Amino acid sequence: MMSPGIGAAPPQVATIDRMKLAPRGHALLGAAAASLCYFALLLFSSAWLPIVWDEGDTIARAELLASGDWGTPDQPWPYTTVREGHPPLSGWLIAGGLKIAPRWLSPLTQARFGPMLLFALAAGAMFYRLERDYGVWQIGVMAMAVLITMPRLFAHAHFATLDGPLTACWVLAWATFAPACRDWRSAPLFGVALGLTLTAKFTGWLAPLPFLAWALLYRRTDALRALAIGLPVALAVFVTFNPPLWHDLSDGMRTFFALNLERASRPGHNISTQFFGQMYNLDHSLPWYNTLVWTAITISPMSLLFGGVGIVSTVRRWRTDPISMLLVLQWATLIVVRAFPGTPPHDAERLILPSFAFFAALAGVGIGRSLYRESLLLPDKIIAQGWAKVGMMIAVTASTFDALGYFPHNLSYYNRLTGGVRGATALGMEPTYYWDSLDQQVLTWLDEHTGPTEKVAFGSAPPRNLELLHRWGLLKKLPGDEGTFRWYVIQRRPSGYRPQDAWLIEHATPAFERSVKGVPLLEVYAYEDFERATEATKPQASP
């Protein structure tokens, strides 16, 4: 039976692909419910997730964008052709969200409102596409369940940064590709979604590759036609969101690509990471298998199992299952490209985040194939389907409890295959990387134990984050304000340690510690201990 625009299964194969497709109205209702539930969950949980590394800087740029106070020598356009060359979609989303977010929300949640809303819409689009493609609502439901119970992906879906919007737009591009293949009049909508992906982050410029590979693999002229229409629209969207390109497109694009491809020559953008006890950066690339490892150790075992089933079963029958193969190609794009030498290695799974969303969809397909489909082939289908649903519930429940054990420090999640965060840390992985351990509990302790004339120093903390915390009344003084230092705070990210940090961890006792599963994520030391550490790590003069 032909799916909606992108594939067919031969009649002799008994698969979920042959089942009667859900009516469009039912799929739309399911998608709306999925979006609403996902957004409500993001909105409710945002208050517990502290501001993370890139949020302060991203929010500051968005506020400049919203004010319209840019375009002068003193305040240039803050995206695309300056600094690290990030495109501006996150800024537009944050600026728009700040205008429509309810005032009773916290300032941080207001800034996150736009990115969270976009991610929820993408989740609904994924549900709709899966139900229309496979005709089995259980696949969409299970994909949503996996999407929610991936702790690290769920955390990034909140943040007012670049990676959540990139993931959402990439999913939207995939969801709109099938209608574009079926009817050329839908191709501009696919082009808009693809253009937003390009505008989300430089990584988004890889998004056309899996669509092109799929069209060539299956010799699909309708897919090539969709790309021929969609790609120019996507480029027009990118230029539209970037005013500096309006006046000098060629020079602006050269600058944009240079800023993103030549980071190794700029020390401030060559960020290290620790991977199984070794340090890596742009000059010393991670092993090629690093993306597979991040997938294998930061997704719960049940989700990992069913996602693996979805990938393996699709690849084995790729000739007769183009629908699922398109999902596999979306997932594999960043898994492969990020394995190349010279690609940025830092921040664990963050730089391959879109692959996690497509892995969730493949887990839904895997569950449908391994449980639900097999139940349809048994003599007593009613009983078999009941047991299949029980198996699905067990899978979701196990993943949910696994994820809740780390909340709100979702970015420290490692699965049970590594022994959790404790086992992963013993193996030489970083327990945290994004300052999400500087939560309300830590800020409350600092507030209660810091006098009116005292202040706090932070090791390698993002200054914009501290400024926002001070503006919101969560941090009394900034490090540069008048006063005497009382405390020194570090996060347990080995690749970001200063010499004093390593000395403190080995020789001093923290006054306060924030941990998860017994593993320290953040420590507060007396400033006198930091001064001792500075003296002890001072370079010795040659005799």
How many other CB atoms are there within 10 angstroms of residue 319's CB atom? 10
> Do 114 and 94 contact (CB within 8 A), yes or no?
yes
User: Which of 388, 100, 428, 80 minimizes the C-alpha distance to 251?
Assistant: 80
Cα(443)–Cα(475) distance, rounded to whole angstroms?
7
| Residue-level pLDDT, tens digit, the chain, 543 residues | 333 446 443 333 333 334 445 568 888 999 999 999 999 999 999 999 999 999 999 999 999 988 888 877 778 889 999 888 999 999 999 999 999 999 999 999 999 999 999 999 999 999 999 999 988 788 898 899 999 999 999 999 999 999 999 999 999 999 999 999 999 999 999 999 999 999 999 999 999 999 999 999 999 999 999 999 999 999 999 999 999 899 889 999 999 999 998 877 777 778 899 999 999 998 889 999 999 999 999 999 989 988 998 999 999 999 999 999 999 999 999 999 999 988 888 898 999 999 999 999 999 998 877 665 544 443 444 555 565 666 667 767 777 778 888 999 999 999 999 999 999 999 999 999 999 999 999 999 999 999 999 999 999 899 999 999 999 999 999 999 999 999 999 999 999 999 999 999 999 999 999 999 999 999 999 999 999 999 999 886 555
Cα(280)–Cα(258) distance, rounded to whole angstroms?
22
> Could you give the 3-state DSSP secondary structure of residue 362?
helix
Output the CA–CA distances (angstroms, integers) from residue 139 to 132, 161, 174, 271, 515, in the order listed.
11, 30, 17, 39, 36
Burial of 491 from C-beta contacts in 10 A (0-12 / 13-18 / 19+): buried
User: Which of 412, 429, 423 minimizes the C-alpha distance to 522?
Assistant: 412
How many other CB atoms are there within 10 angstroms of residue 2's CB atom? 11
Alpha-helix runs per DSSP H in 262-352 = 290-297, 301-316, 322-337
Cα(161)–Cα(151) distance, rounded to whole angstroms?
17
List all residues 6 or more positions away from 372 whose beta carbon is below 8 Å from its beta carbon.
16, 136, 138, 139, 385, 388, 392
> Do 142 and 394 contact (CB within 8 A), yes or no?
no
Return the H-helix or E-strand segment holding 136.
Answer: none
- How do beta strands 519-526 and 484-491 pair? antiparallel
